[in-house]
Amino acid sequence: MLQTRGYATKGPTSILEPFNFERRDPGPHDVLIEILYCGICHSDIHQARDEWGGSIFPMVPGHEIVGRVKRVGPKVKRFKIGELAGVGCFVDSCRKCASCKAGLEQYCEVHLVLTYNGTEKDEKTPTYGGYSSQIVVDEKYTLKISPSSG
């Protein structure tokens, strides 16, 4: 497990405060990304305040992530250590339902793994977002970012 630092809210009326947690170790198709930047979105605020219901606490928000690849699994093909990568609002899906097979993973009918305020594929382990030092994501759900884009 990877020791990770982040900022979490403990409930809908709490402020963000330092929070240490563990991320899963990278698997064969995963990239470990050192988070350099994470945007703030209105959905982060709504989720952290539980304004839409169903929030899971403690919560590390953040799903507009840009970072540098620090490690790649042995079967990763699209990324090399040192490259820039981005992560959006979900990081995995069942990959077996009709929506996933059609390339429409955002409509996963079984279990969409949100970047935060959700659970991993085991449906028990909480997902924590980009207001943290690092994240592990399957390369299929990671975006390449050009080094000249900024």
Q: What is the pLDDT along the chain (150 residues), one digit of tens a residue?
A: 999 999 999 999 999 999 999 999 999 999 999 999 999 999 999 999 999 999 999 999 999 999 999 999 999 999 999 999 999 999 999 999 999 999 999 999 999 999 999 999 999 999 999 999 999 999 999 999 988 765
The per-residue pLDDT for range 97-118, each reduced to its tens digit, is: 999 999 999 999 999 999 999 9
Look at residue 148 in the predicted model and tell me its pLDDT: 78
pTM over 0.75: yes
CA–CA separation, 78 and 107 (whole Å): 24
State both tokens at 30.
């995963």
Dihedral angle computed from the Cα positions of residues 39, 143, 141 and 131, in that order, rounded to the nearest 10 degrees: -20
Look at residue 130 in the predicted model and tell me its pLDDT: 98
Look at residue 150 in the predicted model and tell me its pLDDT: 56
How remote is the C-alpha of 76 from its chain's centroid? 18
Look at residue 147 in the predicted model and tell me its pLDDT: 82
CA–CA separation, 100 and 93 (whole Å): 7
Look at residue 149 in the predicted model and tell me its pLDDT: 62
Helix (H, G, I), strand (E, B) or coil at 120: coil
Dump strand ranges (E) for 9-126: 17-23, 30-38, 65-72, 84-87, 90-92, 113-114
Query: What's the sign of the alpha-carbon dihedral 24, 36, 150, 44?
Result: positive
What the chain holds in terms of domains, given with CATH numbers, is 2-89+128-145 (3.90.180.10)
The kind and range of the H/E element at 2 are strand 2-8
CA–CA separation, 77 and 150 (whole Å): 25
Let me know: does 136 contact 32? Beta carbons within 8 Å. Answer: yes
Let me know: does 111 contact 118? Beta carbons within 8 Å. Answer: no
